Amino acid sequence: MKTATAEVRATSVSFPEYLNELRIQFQPRKSVVLIQCPTFGFNNFELEAAKRKGYFAYPPKGLQCLKAVGALLDVRVDILDLNFRLLEALQQASPPVELHELMDDILNTYLAERDGSSIIGVSAGVTVPNVFSYQGHPYVHVLKTVKQKGYLVLAGGSVATLERRNILKLGLAHLVFKGETEFKFRYFLESLFGRIAAPTPGIFYQPRDEMLESAGLPEAPSPKFDLIPTYDEIPIERYCSVGHVGPFLRMIDPDKPYATLQLVRGCRAHCSFCELAQFRGRGFNHYRPEEVVSEMIYLATEHSIRHFEWVDDDLLANRKAAMALFQSIIDSGLKITWSANVGLIAASLNREMLHLMAESGCTGFRIGIETGSEEILRKTHKPATMRKFMELAEIIPEFPQLFIVGCFMLGFENETYEQIYSTIRLARTMKLGWCSIAVLQVTQESNVDS
């Protein structure tokens, strides 16, 4: 077997052979449960913060894409947003609260109602890594629980991508899906249920003592899924009652019903400090603007959604598509607002773009500026220049209705004091609504013992 990367070594157990072993062991039916784990840590949980809707409650959009894949293959896919269910239960809870017990009750009840499923997929949502840094992390806990119950367990999401070796080493899952999962999930389902399938890399497994990877030619994710039917079990209009999707909505109305939307997959940039390429791969693709607006209209008319949060890593990657999208929102006559908590690339922002954004309902967004040093911009391959930042600083005051946050970073390799001061000077110059300064940290895979 020829593996897709140099990360793993070949053995006599190919992926189809291992999949056949799983098929014999589990006798799976065409029914899958996908779980979005809590996106907050349990070690520093505060009940009052939960009651004030202080924790993230992002709808499980990635799992909705996988459900759309299942529908194409006549495989039933159910979604349990454990993050939402737990936050909803906590709204009525009184101290003391045992989070693991409450989460287990929700999980066990849900699985008992779907006893025909033998395959469980677990995603960590937007939870940050370091899942092995303390005992009882919700992601690790859910993986252990469903594995002990005898399910065929799949692990996915950004944390699984980073921690795939440890997840397999500790026996927390049978398969780990790296990065974007739609094509890998389709390959898995087709192969498992006896269909002809095009081999795809990025599925990791450990049949003996070493981690292996499925072979095949990589295929860039192409967002072509109709997600409207996948809202059948997502109580989207209630998410605003248990949590939030960022500061911009909380500034205007924390009780406003919200949903998330996505135009672009991936990012055009190759910034050296960003791990996005490890998860999504290089380059980007995008939905057709009219498809996104159709989803927006559906959510606004059928579920009374009034605010939308873009989850794109590079919303303005395709300038023509972005402008067509904003113009379509204006033409639709929808009385909605939207924001973008993930940083936009400054190179795409000019007076024309900002005007369309404001007219289509934008209330605020972040810009990924990072540094005021031209040298660091070049070294990190950031697609920006100081000249562009200065041009933007002249335009921003023309749009006082937009709350714009600048994202800055300190701690680049060999960064000098003068370069740090240049970043502070730039932050003071750009006339932004808020400046967020973070310290650069290098994320590494955990080293755990079995």
Nearest-angstrom CA–CA distance, 108 and 146: 9
What confidence category does residue 11 fall into, taking pLDDT thresholds of 50, 70 and 90?
very low
3-class DSSP state of 445:
coil
Contact partners, residue 245, CB within 8 Å, separation at least 6: 56, 57, 58, 258, 260, 309, 341
pLDDT tens, residue by residue, 163-183: 999 999 999 999 999 988 999
Nearest-angstrom CA–CA distance, 169 and 313: 31
> 77 has which bridge partners?
32
Nearest to 412, CA basis, from 448, 382, 450, 447? 382
Mean pLDDT, rounded, for 290-311: 96
| 217 pLDDT more than 90 | no
DSSP state of 322: H
Nearest-angstrom CA–CA distance, 285 and 99: 39
Q: Are 389 and 430 in contact (CB under 8 A)?
A: yes
| Structure-model confidence comparison of residues 129 and 235, the more confident one | 235
| 240 pLDDT more than 60 | yes
Contact partners, residue 62, CB within 8 Å, separation at least 6: 123, 157, 181
Nearest-angstrom CA–CA distance, 70 and 31: 9
Q: Are 377 and 385 in contact (CB under 8 A)?
A: yes
Cα-Cα end-to-end distance for the chain: 27
> What's residue 3's pLDDT?
42
Exposure of 449 in the CB half-sphere (CA atoms within 13 A): 0
Q: Give the rounded percent of residues in the chain with a pLDDT score beyond 70.
A: 91
What confidence category does residue 301 fall into, taking pLDDT thresholds of 50, 70 and 90?
very high
Mean pLDDT, rounded, for 40-63: 94
Element (H, E) at 22: helix 15-26
Pairing of strands 119-123, 76-81: unpaired
What the chain holds in terms of domains, given with CATH numbers, is 15-213 (3.40.50.2300), 245-439 (3.80.30.20)
Pairing of strands 434-439, 31-36: unpaired
> What's residue 234's pLDDT?
96
Contact partners, residue 97, CB within 8 Å, separation at least 6: 47, 90
Q: Which two tokens stand for residue 436?
A: 């967020």
3-class DSSP state of 144:
helix
Nearest to 342, CA basis, from 312, 382, 317, 380? 312
pLDDT tens, residue by residue, 388-408: 999 999 999 999 999 999 999
3-class DSSP state of 46:
coil
pLDDT tens, residue by residue, 117-146: 899 999 986 655 678 888 889 999 999 999
Q: Which two tokens stand for residue 44?
A: 């520093």
